Structure 1
Amino acid sequence: SVTEACRGCIAHECMESCPSGAITKINGRAFINQEICKECGMCKKVCPYNAISEVMRPCKKSCPTGALHVDEEDRQAAVDKNKCINCGACMAGCPFGAISDKSYIVPVVNALMEGKDVYAVAAPSIAGQFGPKVSVGQIKDAFLKTGFKDMVEAACGADAVAVHEAEELKERLKRGDKFMTSSCCPAFVSYVEMNFPELKGMISETVSPMIATARLIKKNHPDSMVIFVGPCTAKKSEIKKPNLAKAVDYVLTFEEISALFDAFEIDFQNCSDLPVSDATLSARGFAQSGGLSNAIALAAKEIGVDLKPVKINGQSELKKTLLLAKVGRLDGNFIEGMMCEG
């Protein structure tokens, strides 16, 4: 868009540089016709007064890997699957709800209606999702009233993951590795695999708490169906990985489970505050920035490992830290990476 800094100069370099003829002069100032503007940025580059501000589409601006681009012909946004890490940032950034992921709510409802043994594995962040006055115990009862066999905290698997990851780090350091990265955030793992393939071997082979909990449920209940419920759309891509297949059947976001509760007319005020004691306090803090390192630190201390965590979140921090790791200048031996900010 053109700002007040426009001088309406005689040279009108912005108009001359525009490849689509989107710029005209109205009342002595440049005007950009957004319907034919290609968002190429040429006018901004040539304006001697910096009078043109760059307005990027929210979806494109929010994408941490540059996977989203706008077609020059039809002006439609498109996602480059070779760059997309399924983090869901574009969906959150789009003000029109024009981008969506695949929903599994229909097969989940069908399974519930058929009376199958469906278990919900709930992410720690489910606490507070339905208001400050709704407890996790009431949420568990809501799952039961909806037809789920049980609700199990994903943090249940986090305790086992912390111990296993600490032991894995010990073995890696023993064999000469300088560091190891976390593997719980699927978007972070995809980011490393796509942008730093030489560091792929440094990613922890320990599964995420979601997978660990699901495997435990299916070990005890072989004929059950497991649904993960959480805030992260990237989990929908994680369950499709060949080495993790059949652990989790479907993933529902908090928005989807909220819609399901509404469809079943669940009133939390009428839900009992059931006991929930699947995990430790440190395991419940797993998903918070630094929570994974804190949990692993406890396990590492018991087996004599000096954990030196580097806690990072967001694309800019991730890129900087991974570049340092790539050239051997990482100040630590464990990278806890989270794609989301905060």
Structure 2
Amino acid sequence: MKTFDELYKDILNRKVKLEEPLPPQYDSRHLDCLLHPEKYAPVIPVSDCEKCAYDRACRQSCIFDAIIRDEEGKLSISPKLCSGCGACMDACSMERLTARKDVLPVMKAVREAKEPVYLLVAPAAVGQFGKDVTLGKLRTAAKALGFTGMVEVALFADILTLKEALEYDRHVKKKGDYQLTSCCCPVWIAMIRKIFHELLPHVPGAVSPMIACGRMIKRLHPDAVTVFLGPCLAKKKEAEEPDIADAVDYVLTFQEMQDILTAADIHPGKLADMKKEHASEAGRLYARTGGVSRAVENMVQQLRADRNIAVKAEQADGTRACMEMIERIRAEKTDASFFEGMGCVGGCVGGPKVLLSREEGKQYVDDYAEAAEFRTPLENPYVLKILEELGFHTVEELLEDESLLTRRL
């Protein structure tokens, strides 16, 4: 019996044709997962898991209790409870867990869509597809695959930076007040919602840049198809959460996009560079640990220069470090007033489906941020243009809107 990954690669390479009966050497359950990934958790078992030498290391690694045992002792992953953090895949020495693949429905949607299809690209994408592959070249590759266009999600990180800074100014007034950033990491938010829910009053109800970007496109083109591209399995789960499922139709990882480009024989490094500068340094830095804190700190100071407000920030990356930081907050053993959590070590550049080491990814992101034409969101004319198109006359009105940038935590 061939493996899940072998079936996936054989379909991409047209060795298995979907219009024909599935050959007997493949598992029909694997085909169902490839055709209907939305029915499954972001992480899936690829073979029946019997008792291993490491005494269920995968189950012990899951802080969300998403790995459950049935009456026969077999393990499965709950689509409802799994956050997509990927810790269980790292823990499984038997390699019986793998990431869900959403490639087939995405490419079907691209081929058959009668409305525009947009690729929403996370800032961590810079450098991931080759040292000479700029986001402008990736935009050309996306068009070659059939996408109508590509949007840089860092632009919406700029807008969320404004909202986070305004929330900080409104709610952090005295010693002991603090804010837990809510912008980008779905694993961090899942930890707070499911494990440390008493801290929710300190989390502004802001959507992630991915959701803000998808909602913006849907507002301009209600029937558009939106596909997010990033390093993160947890984004697959985030896109399906009921209160924000209106924004992003599909999520692809960098590895999945590389699989598509390889199967289509498209080499982005050889393509024309459709360069567009839409995001500031602040939005681009969201891709690595410390980026959100730096962006919000600079934005608070720029918005309230007359008050000389200081933001004392603390960061943690990786689920264990995030939990330790939360315990320090609960025990009042920190005097920071702004806390940034990232589920992956290094932030998004350390995600489970990156194509570079996190050190290389961070360097590409830092260089890309340094090269930005604008330093902060307020200096970015595209931010101001979008806010005007959405009907915001002042940046303070971002706090009042509940349809685009806000979610129910």
- The question of a shared fold, defined as TM-score above 0.5 by the shorter chain, is answered with yes
TM-superposed CA distance for 1:101, in Å, is 4.3
Q: Deviations over 1:154-186 (max 9, x none)?
A: 101011010100101111224997111112210
Compare the two structures and name the one with the higher helix fraction: 2
Residue 262 of structure 1 corresponds to which residue in structure 2?
262
**1:206 Cα deviation from its structure 2 partner:** 1.5
Is 1:88 the equivalent of 2:86? yes
For 2:246, the aligned partner's letter is K
Matched length: 292
- Once residues 202 and 332 of structure 2 are traced to their aligned partners in structure 1, the CA distance between those partners, rounded to angstroms, is 13
In the alignment, what sits opposite 1:300?
300
Preserved contact between residue 137 and residue 272 of structure 2 (Cα < 8 Å): yes
Q: CA deviation at 1:201?
A: 2.1
Greater length-normalized contact order (CA 8 Å, ≥ 6 residues apart): 2
After superposition, give the CA deviation of every residue in 1:129-153 in whole Å (9 maximum; x if it has no partner): 1121222221111001000011111
User: In 2, Cα distance between the equivalents of 1:218 and 1:37?
Assistant: 47
Tell me what 1:8 maps to: none
Corresponding residue to 2:105 among 80, 104, 107? 107
Contact 1:310 1:331 (C-alpha < 8 Å) held by counterparts:
no
Partner of 1:276: 276
Question: Mean Cα displacement is larger for which, 79-88 or 301-310?
Answer: 79-88
For 1:187, the equivalent position in structure 2 comes to 187
What's the secondary structure of 1:310's corresponding residue?
A: strand
Indicate the SS of the match to 2:287.
coil
- 1:239 alignment counterpart: 239
Mapped to 2, the partners of 1:38 and 1:146 lie a distance apart of 42
Taking the aligned partners of 1:143 and 1:196, their CA distance within structure 2 comes to: 40
- Cα deviation for residue 266 of structure 1 reads 0.9
What 5-or-longer segments of structure 2 have no aligned partner?
1-48, 347-409
Partner of 2:210, secondary structure, is helix
Identity of aligned residues (%): 34
Q: 1:62 to 1:110 in 2, by over 3 A?
A: same
In 1, the alpha carbon distance for the partners of 2:58 and 2:167 equals 38
Q: Secondary structure at the match of 2:236?
A: helix
> Structure 1, residues 245-296: CA drift from partner, whole Å, max 9, x if none?
2111111111111122223221224311111312012211112000001111
Report deviation, 1:187. 0.5
Measured in 1, the distance between the counterparts of 2:312 and 2:206 equals: 18
2:121 aligns to what? Answer: 122
Q: Which residue of 1 aligns with 2:157?
A: 158
Asked whether the equivalents of residues 176 and 335 of structure 2 are also in contact (C-alpha less than 8 Å), the reply is: no
TM (norm. structure 2) is: 0.65
Q: 2:130–2:269: 8 Å Cα contact kept in structure 1?
A: no
Higher deviation after alignment, 213-222 or 123-132:
213-222
Give distance in 2, aligned partners of 1:176 and 1:199: 17
Question: Could you tell me how far apart the structure 2 residues matched to 1:303 and 1:68 are?
Answer: 45
Task: Please name the residue that 2:334 is paired with.
Answer: 330
Q: CA RMSD in A?
A: 2.8
Superposition deviation, residue 119 in structure 1: 0.3
Q: TM-score, normalised by structure 1?
A: 0.76
Unaligned runs of 5+ in 1: 1-34, 40-54
Q: Shift in Å at residue 59 of structure 1?
A: 3.7
Distance 2:129 2:50 in 1: 44
